[in-house]
Structure 1
């Protein structure tokens, strides 16, 4: 048994994790794929986690759907990274925020809407986003923000003339063979439930409140997927020549470090500053992303290592130890396959 496998089994036993699926690829091959734990559905029936279980991947949506959609538009339309978002969303209050700034989280917009959105609210989310005040000068400070990514989701819809689920399914997911990756999945038992709300667990409905009010699909959250599909996506970004949806050069550009451990959409480890959630053992140039529900994808190009870790840690509530779990797990995995 690998140390990381024992560690995950221990986390399940100690009830620090309800359930998880781990998918590891090394040098082009899948070397580990395992499911752990259980979850309760919205009827409070207990289910064993399977390797085929669908997860609400939360902010992984930003890199699995929104980033490649924008890259597709750059490859196939007149859209460019330095274009202002106001070009496509005229009602946006700020004329100098660019697509590049939204992808690098340097728009100057706040992290979230204030007051925070609740599931039972009746609010016009896009209207609040386009009217949001800046807290920094655009381009000056990295401030991780859902708002910039929500704007990019709207840009994709306005340029393409179709909604985000249709665009991502026809232009990205189907051509890439990501058959279990989608917004607004059909209701079935094989979806890991997330958080307790009112009198039931949220299951098959997006956990993120802003995305919920945007119809279940936004540029910041809403995608459901399996560990295998997310790993397949990761493989395309490690080996861009193995796919034909985006130009390899466009993909390689998105993986590059831009500013303060951020690339286009992705976090990118540049070896300096506070270590990222993959831990300090991962090579400089490693890139990835995390999701609030307990999901992550990390890719180490130097070691050709791809780790997809999908959990529903919020099943136990929002007070959890994922900030400690992720770097320790990824360090154990890195040691197991690169030493």
Structure 2
């Protein structure tokens, strides 16, 4: 076993997750990858084709079509919610821009358990529309899944298709991400899937249904959560993103557009955000200590993360089920940072060799 695998095995032994899959690589391909543990504490061994609930890693993936639409002249970042969704006209959210939604600066509150009072998609999205703003738009970064629920609806409105169909046609098929999908339990193909949390609301240990309760009410397809994927598909996405930096035309978009999407846009505010992606905060970043200030990525509540550094031409994807069997387990935050440090150093050493 290499150092990265031994590190993850050690933290599995400490009960942080039952299983994990990882990949480290560059824009040209994977340098190291591996799996540890089991899909559940009493389950089968993790295999490379296992599906993981990406949780909020869904967010930057789900909004990539908006960047494609920007390149096609179908929208601009100063467009407002009400420009696309007429139900928002006359509300306190009418003039919130795409830029503000993408950077979590729209003032919309986060961490809202709307599923507790909403039984249908329509009821839940009405509740999102009626949430009072917590901050003046553009003045504060508050991480908000509710803002990305709205972005998912905007993608569908502009495209005239479901979010699922848009992502399949514009992203998953072009990159060969054949095992990235919503609602895997409803698919004809049977997948090995990592278990997540025992859910008192559902009265079962969740496996193959989205962990996020609000996303359940939304039918498992949403702009903030719902995607499942494999470590191989996440590697393909990360490689594609890295190939845009310095390129006039990458596999998905123009290099200038990729630079816009992944740049730090909230300087002077409390958190570093790109468009859909997390930028690297000076302190307490999930990227650890060695990734450059121009690096970016995203984490997921279930224990997933991807992080890319265009300066080093390096990506790290780490998929775990740290909420299994309970979310009362904060150690993944420290584990991520240390894992990123180890991966960065391993690749630097390989480059010197």
- With normalisation by structure 2, the TM-score equals 0.89
Q: Distance in 2 between matches of 1:283 and 1:13?
A: 31
CA deviation profile, 1:9-54 (whole Å, cap 9, x unmatched)? 11122222210000110362311110111123xxx96211111101
Q: SS state of the match for residue 340, structure 2?
A: helix
1:46 to 43, 46, 55: 43
Q: Distance in 1 between matches of 2:8 and 2:103?
A: 32
Q: Residue in 2 aligned with 1:56?
A: 53
Q: Is 2:307 the counterpart of 1:298?
A: yes
2:333 to 313, 323, 335: 323
2:218 to 203, 211, 214: 214
Q: Residue in 2 aligned with 1:289?
A: 298
Which runs of no fewer than 5 residues in structure 2 stay unpaired?
none
For 1:162-181, what aligned pairs fall within 5 Å after superposition? Answer: 162-181=161-180
Q: SS state of the match for residue 12, structure 1?
A: helix
Q: Distance in 2 between matches of 1:287 and 1:255?
A: 7
Say which is worse superposed, 318-327 or 193-202, in terms of deviation.
193-202
Q: Distance in 2 between matches of 1:188 and 1:194?
A: 18
Q: Residue in 2 aligned with 1:191?
A: 193
Report the Cα offset of residue 243 of structure 1. 4.4
- With normalisation by structure 1, the TM-score equals 0.92
Q: SS state of the match for residue 37, structure 2?
A: strand
Q: Is 2:284 the counterpart of 1:275?
A: yes
Q: How many correspondences in the alignment?
A: 331
Superposition RMSD in Å: 1.9
Report the Cα offset of residue 4 of structure 1. 2.6
CA deviation profile, 1:106-149 (whole Å, cap 9, x unmatched)? 00110132x5534x962521111111110100011111111111
Runs of at least 4 residues off by over 4 Å: none
1:265 to 240, 257, 276: 276
8 A contact 1:125–1:214 mirrored in 2: yes
Q: Distance in 2 between matches of 1:189 and 1:173?
A: 18
Q: Residue in 2 aligned with 1:117?
A: 115
